[in-house]
C-alpha cells in the first residue's frame, strides 16, 4: 500500500501547500537530504489553529494539532521528493506553545510522530526534540520542522 493509500484508509489527505509567510522556502534540498521549514496546524480553509496549551488548549487537542501539522510536513516532503514512497524522516523539532507549567511536550508532538510512522512505517521513525516555547507565530499551538532523506 502506498503512503497516499494509507492516508486515504485513515480518512486523511494531504493539504494544499501553503506559501511561505516570510522570506524563506518550504524546503531546501541538499543532496539526498531536504530540510523542511516549520509547519503549523491549519484548518481546511487555511486559517491557523491557535491557542496556548495548558490554558486554552488541552494536551489531547494539541496532539491532534500536531497530527494536522504532520500532514503539512508530508505534503512538503512530497513536494521535495516528488513521491512520498521515496521519503524517510530523519529528525523532527517540535515546538509547543504552552504555559510555563506544562510538562508533556513529547506527548503533544507524538501526534505528528505517530502519524509519520503509521503512514511511512520504518521510514517514518525519526530522532526528535520536543520543547515548550512562550509563543509561536500567529499564536499557533505547535510548530514542527523536519529533516528528511530522499531515496532514489
Q: At what angle do helices 105-120 and 59-81 cross, to 10 degrees?
A: 40
Measured between alpha carbons, how far apart are the two ends of the chain, in Å? 18
3 is a domain residue:
no
91 pLDDT band (50/70/90 cuts)?
very high
Whether residue 16 is predicted with pLDDT greater than 90 in this model: the reply is: no
115 pLDDT band (50/70/90 cuts)?
very high
Mean pLDDT across 35-46:
95
13 is a domain residue:
no
9 is a domain residue:
no
Cα separation, 58 vs 42, in Å, equals: 17
17 pLDDT band (50/70/90 cuts)?
confident
Q: What's the pLDDT score for residue 20?
A: 86
C-alpha cell of residue 98: 504552552
Whether residue 18 is predicted with pLDDT greater than 90 in this model: the reply is: no
Number of domains in the chain: 1
44 is a domain residue:
yes
101 is a domain residue:
yes
C-alpha cell of residue 34: 531536504
114 is a domain residue:
yes
78 pLDDT band (50/70/90 cuts)?
very high
Neighbours of 98 (CB within 10 A): 26
CATH code, domain carrying 44: 3.30.1330.40
52 pLDDT band (50/70/90 cuts)?
very high
- Per the prediction, the chain carries an average pLDDT of 96
Instruction: Name the percent of the chain lying above pLDDT 70.
Output: 100
Whether residue 140 is predicted with pLDDT greater than 90 in this model: the reply is: yes
Q: What's the pLDDT score for residue 64?
A: 98
- Per the structure, the complete domain to which residue 70 belongs is given by 25-150
1 is a domain residue:
no
Question: Which of 12-21, 76-85, 88-97 is least confident?
Answer: 12-21
8 is a domain residue:
no
Amino acid at each position: 500500500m502506498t503512503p497516499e493509500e494509507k492516508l486515504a484508509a485513515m480518512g486523511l489527505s494531504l493539504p494544499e501547500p501553503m506559501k511561505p509567510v516570510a522570506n524563506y522556502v518550504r524546503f531546501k534540498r541538499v543532496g539526498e537530504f531536504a530540510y523542511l521549514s516549520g509547519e503549523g496546524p491549519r484548518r481546511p480553509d487555511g486559517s491557523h489553529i491557535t491557542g496556548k496549551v495548558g490554558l486554552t488548549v488541552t494536551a489531547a487537542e494539541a496532539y491532534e494539532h500536531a497530527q494536522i501539522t504532520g500532514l503539512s510536513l508530508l505534503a512538503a516532503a512530497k513536494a521535495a521528493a516528488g513521491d512520498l514512497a521515496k521519503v524517510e524522516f530523519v529528525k523532527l523539532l517540535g515546538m509547543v506553545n504552552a504555559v510555563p507549567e506544562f510538562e508533556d511536550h513529547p506527548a503533544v508532538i507524538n501526534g505528528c510522530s505517530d502519524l509519520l510512522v503509521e503512514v511511512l512505517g520504518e521510514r517514518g521513525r525519526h530522532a526528535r526534540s520536543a520543547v515548550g516555547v512562550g509563543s509561536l507565530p500567529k499564536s499557533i499551538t505547535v510548530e514542527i520542522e523536519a529533516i528528511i532523506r530522499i531515496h532514489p
